[in-house]
Amino acid sequence: MRDGTVLVECKVSRADFLAVMAKPHRHSGGVGNWRYYMAPEGVISPDELLAKWGLV
């Protein structure tokens, strides 16, 4: 990991995830070379992720 940073954003509910997804700046990039959401199973579906985001 010499070429960047990792961002992990934890979501505890579906409403929390949807509120973040409604923010315009979320769609234009952000911090971290690698970006992940961490959430309980079933809160976020992989097909809902923005490009360059992963799911833990």
β-pairing verdict for 6-10 and 53-55: unpaired
Tell me the mean pLDDT per 10 residues along the chain, length 56. Answer: 83 93 75 89 94 90
Q: Are 34 and 6 in contact (CB under 8 A)?
A: yes
Indicate whether 44 belongs to any domain. Answer: yes
Indicate whether 45 belongs to any domain. Answer: yes
**How many CA within 13 A on the CB side of residue 28?**
3
* This prediction's pTM: 0.80
- How many domains does the structure of the chain reveal? 1
pLDDT computed for residue 9 by the predictor: 92
Indicate whether 1 belongs to any domain. Answer: no
